[in-house]
Amino acid sequence: MNYFEAIVLAIIEGLTEFLPVSSTGHMIIGSSIMGIASNNFVKLFTICIQLGAILSVLVLYYKRFLKSVDFYIKLAIAFIPAAILGKLLSDYIDALLETPLGVAISLLVGGIILLFVDKWFNKNEIEDVDKISKPNAFKIGLFQCIAMIPGVSRSGASIVGGMSLGLSRKVAAEFSFFLAVPTMFAATAYKLYKYTKEFGMPTGDEIKLLAVGNVVAFVVGLLAIKTFIGFLNKNGFKAFGWYRIAIGAFIITLYLTGHNLSII
């Protein structure tokens, strides 16, 4: 991986982390296009730079993180399912990080679901994160676990899960952002631990690539959050649904017609 490839993946991450389109899925597709998808460091990179994007949540919503202890309790409860399943399924998830076709199928199926979400949950009344109950926080955490399948979208799964429990689109999206903070901190730490245990410490050049990737993802993430919330409130999920369907169908078509996904 060179710096250009690192920046491209970081831009993809920053743009897509908070959209219901799967940032990991897009980075797998992006790395496949650039021919670097099977590299062990690339797998580490695609997980670790998500932390940079997530840090933008702390900057934009810092007042929320200073508001109450109860808020942290709910985040901890929601984080439990991912913490347990993430450890149990870690090797399986690593294997999935190499399959653009699997990502394409997930994008397609998720896109179809997003076409109907606004109609299914159009009478939601919970308009404040503080009104999310602890049992519902846990249930949202369970929905988030579906996104361990690359292409599903962590934000999409947790937002739809929140809306199914009565949260408004805005509140469901914001709680998804907040839940991403402990989830991605833990995922990054665990991935780094596994990588160093198996391959040793990243080299100096690899550390520089990780630093550049996180900075770029952070800056782009700041812009993406504000844009997404405004667009979601005004337009709902249909546009994201059609986008996922188009991308997923395109990649599946390439695969079925015998094209090499590493040179799309």
pLDDT for res 263: 39
Residue 38 Cα distances to 26, 33, 97, 100, angstroms: 15, 12, 8, 11
Q: Is 254 exposed, middle or buried (0-12, 13-18, 19+ CB in 10 A)?
A: middle
Q: Find where tokens 């599946």 sit.
A: 252
**Sign, CA torsion 211/95/142/229:** positive
Q: Give tens-digit pLDDT for 176-209.
A: 989 988 888 888 888 888 889 888 888 889 999 9
C-alpha span between 107 and 28 (Å, rounded) = 12
Residue 73 Cα distances to 77, 83, 135, 255, angstroms: 6, 15, 11, 45
Contacts of 121 (CB under 8 A, 6+ apart): 163, 164
Average pLDDT over residues 74-97: 76
pLDDT for res 1: 85
Over the chain, what is the mean pLDDT?
Answer: 84
| Whether pLDDT at 264 is above 50 | no
C-alpha span between 155 and 157 (Å, rounded) = 6
In this structure, what is the dihedral angle of CA atoms 189, 191, 193, 194, given to the nearest 10 degrees?
A: 160
- Give the max Cα distance, the chain: 55
C-alpha span between 129 and 173 (Å, rounded) = 10
Which tokens is 104 given? 């394409």
pLDDT-derived band of residue 117, with 50, 70 and 90 as boundaries? confident
**Sign, CA torsion 141/192/34/37:** negative
| Whether pLDDT at 127 is above 60 | yes
| Whether pLDDT at 252 is above 90 | no
pLDDT for res 97: 53
Average pLDDT over residues 30-41: 80
What pTM did the predictor assign? 0.80
